[in-house]
Amino acid sequence: MTYTSLLLSRPGAVEATGMDAGVAAHYGEPLREQRALAAGTAVVDLSHRGVVTVSGPDRLSWLNTLSSQQLTNLQPRVSSELLMLTLQGRIEFDARVVDDGGTTWLIVEAAEAVPLAEWLNKMKFMLRVEIADVSADWGVLASTKAVEAWAGWLVWEDPWPHVGAGGYSYSAVEEDSHPGLERPWFEYLVPVAELEAAVGDLPLAGAMAVEALRIAAWRPRLGAETDDKTIPHELDLLRTSVHLSKGCYKGQETIARVHNLGHPPRRLVFLQLDGSQHTLPAAGSGVFAGERKVGTLTSVAQHFEMGPVALAVIKRSVPADEVLTVMDGEEPYVAAQEVIVAPDAGQVVGRQSGFLKGPHR
């Protein structure tokens, strides 16, 4: 069933495509909307997001056994993030997590809700849990500042880029200077029937603004930065989504082995693109070092201050100072890289020095 937000009836609304189909890409002035969102004076309709609930007295301990995150003692209204992994440690699901004291709410990408709910139902066995895909009844409104008018709603606050308990930073950048600090992020759970009333006269920004700020914050997104081979280490997701000291879960062996003894084969990188062409390359374009293809452009946007920016996943072996070229068909775009995941990430056993930080307790 195709979702169409009621807010697409607002003046100037242009519907997004791809992962954000069903909500507005913008409302006529993308860069102005982006400035307003960054300043905290606009809000965003993300009601196409998937929402899955897990209720019952065993919900947190059960999710703890299935996921990469420590959830057993998650307190009401405290935000977290979890990954569901394959046996090989590859990312299957990425969920934003908040509990209201009786129900755990999982906010996911639109395409994740149905398969996640189905998978969870297969895994519940005799435990006292109930799983429901409530995406048709609940939506998400987002902002970069807490919205006073929405104080009664349950809210998920993005932990990025802080390194959580049991987490680990793979970045060469100190936490207190990480660009993600410039993008605080709040996602409010709102009944779809009350969406228009909740927004009221608040200024709206579209999904294009969200993507530009996400890219500038180095924040990976499932379905954009991920493919069927992605492991969390490649995207610096150990900082918010993985607890390295928790008990057994599917994929844990790969998490521990790569972290302690190996290196992730690829690394996430931020690209500042040459803006002289006045166009943007398409996501999925190849990234080249000289004549050699070394990766893929995963997300791209026009940032209101920095111009054209992007995220890409490239081979770990690419030197950090290498000038790269993005090829969209026959059209080249020169790209200067900023390191997100350090080339020497991983293999922490026996590490005597270096810029990677130890796990938080």
Q: Which amino acid is at 73?
A: N
Residue with tokens 């007295």: 57
d(CA 208, CA 212): 6
**Please, how many CA atoms are within 13 Å of residue 90, restricted to the half-sphere of its CB?**
12
- H or E, element range at 205: strand 204-205
Residue with tokens 């084969």: 265
d(CA 14, CA 150): 25
The contacts of residue 352 (CB under 8 Å, 6+ apart) are: none
d(CA 249, CA 233): 16
8 Å CB contact between 253 and 230: no
CA-nearest of 202, 176, 195, 217 to 137 is 195
d(CA 248, CA 136): 34
**207-216 and 30-39 helices, crossing angle to 10°:** 60
**CA diameter of the chain:** 61
Q: Are strands 324-328 and 331-339 parallel, antiparallel or unpaired?
A: antiparallel
Is 187 annotated as ligand-binding? yes
CB atoms within 10 A of CB 197: 9
d(CA 361, CA 147): 31
8 Å CB contact between 303 and 216: yes
Residues within the annotated binding site for substrate? 187
Binding region = 187
